[in-house]
Amino acid sequence: MQFIDLAAQYQHLKTKIDARIQTVLDHGNYIMGPEVQELEAELAKYVGVKHAITCANGTDALTLSLMALDIKVGDAVFCPTFTFFATAEVIAYEGATPVFVDSDAATFNICHVDLEKRIQATIAEGKLIPKAIIAVDLFGLPANYPEIQKIADRYNLKLVEDAAQGFGGSIDGKRAGSFGDIATTSFFPAKPLGCYGDGGAIFTNNDEYAELIKSYRVHGKGSDKYDNVSIGMNSRLDTIQAAILLEKLAEFPIELINRNKAAENYEVSLSGKYKTPQVPEGYVSSWAQYTLLSASRDTAMAMFKEKGIPTMVYYRTCMHMQTAFDYLGYSVGSFPVAEKLAKSVFSLPMHPYMDAKS
Ligand SMILES: *Cc1c(COP(=O)(O)O)cnc(C)c1O
């Protein structure tokens, strides 16, 4: 059994994907070819936003968003400590200061109660200017945007949705990628919607942000890429990757159903033995990971291994304990829920072709 079976997916879509790639080889527009625009239109339609802008990867998608929001030195940006490194990395990369927030014990997502406390503490301290929140749809489950948006409004903060793992999820029918001021996703192969290399996208309803991001992704271009009006970067999605994603996106709704069936099967067979992931009323998860909790994680993982079932740990180290963030001066014990999660979570194989192979 494989942790994520990309080969099974390719076999299922091979004829269509091969034909799409061949079309790109025939027209030869490898950078910003017609498939890129076609994909952006399809993505915007699926997510339900005005603008979808593709880029080179999910990390750049976050960086481009923070650039559009003018995040800089002296700014505080709040994000969960229990997440993938990129969420916090991009804040520091822009020269701003990540302010970490504890997790919700039930959903593993950012805890809105702790979020408000950390915002108030930052204001009271008076050293940084609170500017934005990056919430993460961890393991495929959208964060609690109804509550987080209220807090963002109350303190006049921008809200970014990191939907790298959340693409396909929803709250009351509103899709991941449509929350906050700007949302981002990743098309890294192992994500719910992945390509065959690196890729990412940014979603927004805001025309001004969309224009800025389109400029920043091509060297801060003005009328063309040799007229440069600001400092940007080179972060485009390859046409071949867009071609592959068009076929994968067409299949995605069926895959999402399959992922949810796989999660239901896990729930039935495991809920008595482990703490299984719970999806709040009205929420849909895209199940980027199916994550269990066990106080004796090593023993549990060894048992699965014996049965030929691979497991992985996402994530062993919270952001406030990462060496790279030593300079922020956090210590053990400052985020009790997240620290406990880091010690007890482990994930099981999850992909839309589980039945075919397992
Ligand atoms: C994967 C991931 C990213 C970064 O995406 P890349 O395409 O690998 O750069 C950012 N945030 C989260 C939560 C992720 O899981």
Among 218, 247, 276, the domain-final residue is 247
Q: Is residue 204 part of a domain?
A: yes
Q: Is residue 149 part of a domain?
A: yes
Q: Is residue 357 part of a domain?
A: no
Q: Residue 84 Cα, ligand 1 centroid: separation in angstroms?
A: 7
Q: For residues 190 and 281, state if they share a domain.
A: no
Average pLDDT for the chain: 97
Q: What is the pLDDT of residues 111-154, one digit of tens each?
A: 999 999 999 999 999 999 999 999 999 999 999 999 999 999 99
What is the predicted pLDDT for the residue at 356?
Answer: 53
Q: Which domain holds residue 297?
A: 253-348
Q: Residue 120 Cα, ligand 1 centroid: separation in angstroms?
A: 28
Q: Is residue 331 part of a domain?
A: yes
* C-alpha separations of 67 from 73, 91, 128, 222, 319 in Å: 12, 10, 18, 16, 22
| Span between the terminal Cα atoms of the chain, in Å | 6
Give the torsion sign (CA, 281, 286, 290, 292): negative
**CA-based R_g, the chain, Å:** 20
Looking at this protein, which amino acid is placed at residue 217?
R
Q: For residues 143 and 207, state if they share a domain.
A: yes
Q: Is residue 194 part of a domain?
A: yes
The residue whose CA is least distant from atom 6 of ligand 1 is 58
Among 222, 247, 272, the domain-final residue is 247
| C-alpha–C-alpha distance, residues 132 and 355, integer Å | 42
What is the predicted pLDDT for the residue at 358?
Answer: 43
- Supply the CATH number for residue 294's domain: 3.90.1150.10
Q: Identify which of 63, 139, 186 to mutate to test ligand 1's pocket (most ligand atoms within 8 A of the CB).
A: 186
Check pocket membership of 184 for ligand 1, CB cut-off 6 A: no
Q: What is the pLDDT of residues 180-223, one digit of tens each?
A: 999 999 999 999 999 999 999 999 999 999 999 999 999 999 99
- Supply the CATH number for residue 133's domain: 3.40.640.10
> Is 216 in contact with 13 (CB distance < 8 Å)?
no
Residue ranges in the chain whose pLDDT is less than 70: 356-358
> Is 286 in contact with 166 (CB distance < 8 Å)?
yes
The residue whose CA is least distant from atom 5 of ligand 1 is 58
| C-alpha–C-alpha distance, residues 48 and 98, integer Å | 29
What is the predicted pLDDT for the residue at 1?
Answer: 86
Element (H, E) at 87: helix 85-93
What is the predicted pLDDT for the residue at 225?
Answer: 86
Q: For residues 118 and 238, state if they share a domain.
A: yes
Q: For residues 206 and 264, state if they share a domain.
A: no
Check pocket membership of 59 for ligand 1, CB cut-off 6 A: yes
What is the predicted pLDDT for the residue at 314?
Answer: 98
